Amino acid sequence: MSYYEIQGGRPLGGTLAVHGAKNSVLPILAACLLVPGQCILHNCPDLSDVSATLDILRLLGCRADREGDAVIIDASAVNRSDIPEHLMREMRSSVIFLGALLARLGAAELSYPGGCELGPRPIDLHLAALRALGAEILEEQGALACRCCRGGLRGRELCLSIPSVGATENAMLAACGCPGVTTIIGGAREPEIIDLQSFLQAAGAQIEGAGTSTITVQGGVPLHPVEYRVMGDRIAAATYLCAAAAAGGEVELTGVAPDTLTAVLACLEEAGCTLHTGPDRVVLTGAAPMRGISPVRTAPYPGFPTDAQAILMAALAGGEGATLFVENIFDARYRHVDELRRMGADIQVAGRAAMVSGVGRLHGAVVRSTDLRGGAALVVAALGAEGTTRVSELRHIRRGYQALDKNLRTLGADIREIP
């Protein structure tokens, strides 16, 4: 079983181009199903979640090829509407194919998606939105069979009771295939939703409002082939920034919009780091040691992202002073805490709250990734720790980070993968 071996305590320095956003490219790849022709996506990160999505597209009858950082999808000949369970289980975001397949073929048969490591992750909002648009959905023994009701899909007003990212994206895709106007009220406002909208607009869709909580789609408009560049990954950027904050040094990130990182940058600044931003870049100069900061409460965008909670916690655990974290999005998102404790962290968890008391410096240990961002958090902790850390279960990390070890070496870190 391969693992990263990390020798901590070396300050980071240099410039790194952040790869394309995982949470953007997955729905955009699904959206390619709506285009009966060839789409080219640039800045498409090489991640296991992306490979799994390409496998699904191929199975459905698309051509899907990678050329460097571009992926070429030709969905002219989509001929299947069913996705087998083993592909659905690979990742939670496969549920996005429900809306895309309904829009393209008027039917979808798939199983409940995988990716339950953060606690229960229901899809009731996704299903309610699609039913409201006219889909009939049968749920039987973990399988979902969806088809249009007799009148076909029809645009209408949809209200989401929680601003779910995935449900908003599913509703947007399905609505593109529905004649009439769909208004999504209470939608998520994440930058990745804006990126999905920009792709759809570039392909000719009549959709607007992403970035606000009301999104309007004039559906039934035929889409055309498009070449599109995926936005930079704000969570990968947050990871490299927290790594530099934990290890010290000065790091410049390019290819990421600082205004997608406002909540994270505010925390790092409060912890004593110095930040400079430009249109597509962020420069962080680390403060050693980091200081404890005001409570970090995860919230839908533009609040502090749940995906950066473990990563910031790992950096602050090796700083000085106390910080309270409150996880408001997922029920079981503190699984990294036990692993951080092996490295000497002092973290008390009570329900949704976790009190981190900085210990000055963590120490190396043998630890295990518990999930994607939890695994990245252990790497961040290890870079600032004294001594050697081994981080195993790298498959979690590969879901969301392209060449994490190589990128960190570019910045001067002592990290290598032991096969």
Binding of ligand UD1 at residue 122 (CB under 6 A)? yes
Site for ligand UD1 in 15-34 (CB under 6 A): 23, 26
* Two tokens, residue 30: 């699904």
Identity at 318, one-letter amino acid code? G
Dist CA 158 CA 129 (whole Å): 6
Taking the C-alpha atoms of residue 97 and residue 93, their distance in angstroms, rounded to an integer, is: 8
Which runs of E-coded beta strand occur in 162-223? 180-185, 206-208, 214-219
Is 241 or 283 the residue whose CB approaches ligand UD1 more closely?
A: 241
Residue 162 binds ligand UD1, judged by CB under 6 A: yes
CA angle 143, 148, 154 (to 5 degrees): 135
Give the residue among 380, 371, 395, 410 at the shortest CA–CA distance from 3: 395
Among candidate residues 237, 240, 355, 235, the one with its CA nearest the CA of residue 307: 235
Candidates 288, 291, 296, 293; CA nearest to 384 is 288
* Contact present, 37 and 75 (Cβ < 8 Å): yes
If the CB atoms of residues 228 and 330 are measured against ligand UD1, the closer one turns out to be 330
Q: What is the CA radius of gyration of the chain?
A: 21
Please, what is the Cα angle at 364 between 243 and 263, to 5 degrees?
A: 25
To the nearest whole angstrom, how small is the minimum distance from the Cβ of residue 288 to ligand UD1? 30
Instruction: Look at residue 138 and give its three-state secondary structure.
Output: strand
Beta strands 353-359 and 320-326: pairing type? antiparallel
Q: Which helix (H) or strand (E) holds 104?
A: helix 97-105
Q: How far is the CB of 118 from ligand UD1 (least distance, A)?
A: 7
Give whichever of 130 and 337 is closer to ligand UD1, judged by the CB atom: 130
Q: Using the rule CB under 6 A, which residue among 90, 195, 252, 307 binds ligand UD1?
A: 307
Q: Identify which range of 10-18, 144-152, 160-168, 313-321 contacts ligand UD1 by CB under 6 A.
A: 160-168
Residue type, 358: G
Place of tokens 């409570």: 295
341: alpha, beta or left, given left = phi > 0 and alpha = psi -120 to 50?
alpha
Structure tokens at 175: 């609505």
Binding mask 168-197 for ligand UD1 (x = CB under 6 A): --------------------x---x-----
- Choose the stretch contacting ligand UD1; rule: CB under 6 A; options: 80-88, 158-166, 207-215, 265-273: 158-166
Under rule CB under 6 A, residue 306 binds ligand UD1: yes
From the CB of 363, what's the least distance to ligand UD1, in Å? Answer: 30
Q: How far is the CB of 371 from ligand UD1 (least distance, A)?
A: 10
Q: Which of 3, 199, 330, 334 binds ligand UD1 (CB under 6 A)?
A: 330
Residues 78-97 that bind ligand UD1 (CB under 6 A): 92-93
Measured from the CB atom, is 167 or 362 closer to ligand UD1? 167
Pick from 165, 178, 200, 251: which binds ligand UD1 (CB under 6 A)? Answer: 165
- Both tokens of 255, joined, read 């290819």
Shortest distance (Å) from residue 128 CB to ligand UD1: 8
Which member of 19, 126, 361, 396 binds ligand UD1 (CB under 6 A)? Answer: 126
Give Cα 43 distance to the centre of its chain. Answer: 15
Binding region for ligand UD1 (CB under 6 A) out of 12-20, 162-170, 249-257, 358-366: 162-170
Rule CB under 6 A: choose which of 64, 125, 200, 380 binds ligand UD1: 125
Binding ligand UD1 (rule: CB under 6 A), the pick from 65, 67, 85, 124 is 124
Of 173, 329, 337, 383, which lies in the binding site for ligand UD1, with binding defined by CB under 6 A? 329
* Site track for ligand UD1 across 268-287, x = CB under 6 A: --------------------
* Catalytic center residues: 116
Helix (H) or strand (E) holding 384: helix 372-384
Binding site for ligand UD1 (CB under 6 A): 23, 26, 92-93, 121-126, 162, 164-167, 188, 192, 306-307, 329-330
